[in-house]
C-alpha cells in the first residue's frame, strides 16, 4: 500500500500509513523503506527523506544501492543537482546506470544541459547502447534551446544505428483495448480524433499555451505532427467515445514528454474530465488543470 501511494504521488498518505505500521508494532524492512523514500521523490521532500534514510539504522537495516538511488531522486526533486552529484560520488556503493539515469532525468526536468552531459557520460560508460537515454539528453538540449547539440546527438544515434522504442498508448473503451502509435495516420476515427484535438488546441491557445514538443522540432519551429503523440490521440479518442462523466484512463509505454504533460493538464480543465495516464515513470492524475505529480515526475 505504501508503494501504491508512492507511485501515485501521494506522499502524505504513504507517510501516514508508515506511521500506522510502526504504531501497530510491525517492523519495516528494507522494501518498506524503499517505498517510503520513493514517495518523497516527486515533491523533493529532503528533510523527510533524510529522516527515514537515517531511521533505517534503528531497525538494523543497512542502506543498499536502491535506497541511495532514492536519496539521489529526492535531491533531484528538490532541484539540488550539484548536491546529488556530490552524494553520488561519496556513496559506499559504486553508482549503477539507474543512479545516473535518475540524475539525467532531473537534468531535463530542471533544464540543466551541463549537468546532463556529465550524468550522460557516466551513464553511457555503463550502457553505451541505451537509445532512450540518448533521447533524454537530446530533449534536455532542446529544452535549453541548444538545437544544434540535440541534432548532432540524434545524428550520432543514427550513425551508430541506435533504435529507440516506438511510443504506444492504449485505452480501454467498451471492454475493448484500442492502441495508438506515435504518428498514427490510419485509425478509422482519425478525422474525429483530429477534430477533437483541434478544438482542445484552440482552447489552449486562448489561454496562451501553444502545444509544442521540443523533441520533434528544430530551431524552435512548431512541427505540424506534434499532435500525433500517442497519448494525445488516445485521450482525444476517449473524449469522443466515453460517457461525458467517465474519466479517461490510458497507459503509455514511455515517459510523457513535457509538452504532452502540459497539454493534458489543460485538456482536463477544458473538457472537465479526470484523466489518468500511466506512463513509464508515474501514474498521473490530471484534474482541473493540475497533475498530482506536480510536474516532478
Residues 47 and 75 in one domain: yes
Evaluate whether 170 touches 233 at the Cβ level (below 8 Å).
no
Place of cell 542502506: 63
d(CA 39, CA 225): 36
CATH of the domain at 116: 1.25.40
Residues 84 and 131 in one domain: yes
Whether 297 is covered by a domain: the verdict is: no
Read off the pTM.
Answer: 0.78
Whether 57 is covered by a domain: the verdict is: yes
Residues 16 and 155 in one domain: yes
Evaluate whether 76 touches 84 at the Cβ level (below 8 Å).
yes
* Cβ neighbours around 48 below 10 Å, total: 17
Angle at 53 between CA 82 and CA 281, to 5 degrees: 65
Residues 72 and 190 in one domain: no
Residues 123 and 243 in one domain: no
Residues 125 and 184 in one domain: no
Task: Give the residue from 159, 186, 206 where a domain finishes.
Answer: 159
Angle at 131 between CA 106 and CA 114, to 5 degrees: 35
Task: Give the residue from 136, 159, 182 where a domain finishes.
Answer: 159
The 3-state secondary structure of 173-217 reads ECCEEEEEECCCCCCCCHHHHHHHHHHHHHHHHHCCCCCCCHHHC
How many domains in the chain?
2
d(CA 38, CA 67): 9
Residues 109 and 204 in one domain: no
Place of cell 515513470: 281
- Give, for all 297 residues of the chain, the pLDDT tens digit: 999 998 888 899 999 999 999 999 999 999 999 999 999 998 889 999 999 999 999 999 999 999 999 999 999 989 999 999 999 999 999 999 999 999 998 998 888 999 999 999 999 999 988 887 887 888 888 878 888 888 888 788 878 777 666 788 999 998 899 999 876 667 788 889 889 988 998 898 888 886 655 444 444 444 444 456 889 999 999 999 999 889 999 999 888 877 888 899 999 999 999 999 998 778 899 999 999 887 766
Residues 150 and 25 in one domain: yes
Residues 207 and 154 in one domain: no
Residue 242 backbone dihedrals phi, psi, to 5 degrees? -85, 155
Residues 153 and 214 in one domain: no
Task: Give the residue from 129, 159, 189 where a domain finishes.
Answer: 159
Residues 152 and 210 in one domain: no
Whether 83 is covered by a domain: the verdict is: yes
Cα-Cα-Cα-Cα dihedral sign, residues 52, 58, 59, 62: positive
Residues 32 and 141 in one domain: yes
Give residue 176's domain range.
Answer: 168-291
Whether 296 is covered by a domain: the verdict is: no
Amino acid at each position: 500500500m505504501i508503494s501504491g501511494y508512492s507511485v501515485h504521488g501521494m506522499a502524505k498518505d504513504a507517510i501516514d500509513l508508515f506511521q500506522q505500521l510502526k504504531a501497530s508494532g510491525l517492523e519495516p524492512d528494507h522494501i518498506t523503506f524503499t517505498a517510503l523514500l520513493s514517495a518523497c521523490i516527486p515533491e523533493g521532500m529532503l528533510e523527510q527523506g533524510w529522516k527515514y534514510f537515517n531511521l533505517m539504522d534503528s531497525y538494523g537495516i543497512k542502506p543498499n544501492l536502491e535506497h541511495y538511488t532514492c536519496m539521489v531522486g529526492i535531491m533531484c526533486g528538490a532541484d539540488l543537482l550539484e548536491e546529488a552529484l556530490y552524494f553520488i560520488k561519496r556513496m559506499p556503493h559504486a553508482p549503477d546506470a539507474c543512479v545516473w539515469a535518475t540524475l539525467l532525468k532531473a537534468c531535463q526536468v530542471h533544464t540543466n544541459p551541463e549537468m546532463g552531459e556529465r550524468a550522460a557520460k557516466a551513464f553511457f560508460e555503463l550502457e553505451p547502447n541505451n537509445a532512450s537515454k540518448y533521447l533524454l539528453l537530446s530533449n534536455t538540449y532542446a529544452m535549453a534551446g541548444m538545437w544544434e547539440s540535440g541534432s548532432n546527438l540524434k545524428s550520432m544515434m543514427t550513425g551508430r544505428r541506435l533504435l529507440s522504442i516506438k511510443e504506444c498508448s492504449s485505452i480501454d473503451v467498451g471492454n475493448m483495448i484500442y492502441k495508438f502509435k506515435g504518428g498514427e495516420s490510419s485509425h478509422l476515427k482519425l478525422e474525429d480524433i483530429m477534430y477533437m484535438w483541434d478544438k482542445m488546441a484552440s482552447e489552449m491557445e486562448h489561454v496562451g499555451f501553444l502545444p509544442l514538443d521540443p523533441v520533434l522540432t528544430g530551431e524552435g519551429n512548431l512541427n505540424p505532427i506534434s499532435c500525433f503523440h500517442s497519448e494525445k490521440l488516445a485521450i482525444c479518442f476517449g473524449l469522443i467515445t466515453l460517457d461525458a462523466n467517465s474519466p479517461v484512463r490510458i497507459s503509455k509505454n514511455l515517459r510523457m514528454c513535457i509538452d504532452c504533460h502540459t497539454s493534458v493538464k489543460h485538456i482536463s480543465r477544458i473538457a472537465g474530465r479526470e484523466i489518468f495516464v500511466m506512463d513509464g515513470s508515474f501514474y498521473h492524475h490530471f484534474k482541473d488543470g493540475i497533475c498530482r505529480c506536480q510536474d516532478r515526475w
